[in-house]
A and B are shown apart, each in its own frame.
Chain A
């Protein structure tokens, strides 16, 4: 991309971001944010971060967008009351000064960073072969800094435990979300019949190529989550009760396999999360395959919120 295109992209991003902050209606702001998120993926591509672009499109724009749109429609009644709370001029001026100062300081830092920047790319390249995978980002995520990735899966699970813990006591063990209403001939139901098989294939494909090309379990897991969400929203499938044993097993299976493979490394490779010579790639794939369904279930349920009707609810 040429500098002119970059400038245009930046101008659009800033305009949408500005809109997101100043829009009067929350719904308009959220709509601006979702478009902003989609445009942002172009910025990642422009910065040669294709894996990040995929993640941003799937999670940053897609799932977060869905989450915020859902919340906006539920909270619409509170808009007017909130507007009455709007802070006075003094607060706004002060906030503007603080925000400008922070932005200016960051801008100065960006200009002052050493050129060329320090990089671990040569070291990653040097050790890439021993991990057996071709995508350097997958090597970082699954080998050099595998601990972070393991913890990240656990973070998601903690988030879900936190969300579930907000349930009202009488619905504990029940199903999240509203009771499904099926419109068998609606467009949603149609899509929900057609898309999921395709999405399943795409999700698994994204996981599979992630070893050597951009992609991986988070992006693939999000696609699977989106397909399941489609089924849930169309009413063709009901959300499972949180007390179901299979749900809980599905949630912990991925992190548990990750930990077990890590512990295996202590015995066969001399270090926790280490892989023995020649077996790195198969073990990495074992972890990713185990994580994929767990991530899909976790991401979907994060979006569905706490249980809010009894298990026997239709």
Chain B
């Protein structure tokens, strides 16, 4: 009786473990994690374009720095992704620089 119960518990535990792995997906590979990281950083940087005018000079300068830091990672992507995201990043960065310049001009 005890033996059967033991086998049942082992099976249930195993099944539960297997299900949770399937439910949460395979652990991400280092490359996948890196990919997700650059994408997340890209989205965070470029999500501020709509309210760029309301950002402070410091915030704008930080966004420009983050865009510059992200560029080498984007340069490593495959040809298509590189072309698309370098173009998009260039536009975001260009806008922040433009707004920063206009804010500096306002102060003069």
Q: Does B associate with A?
A: no
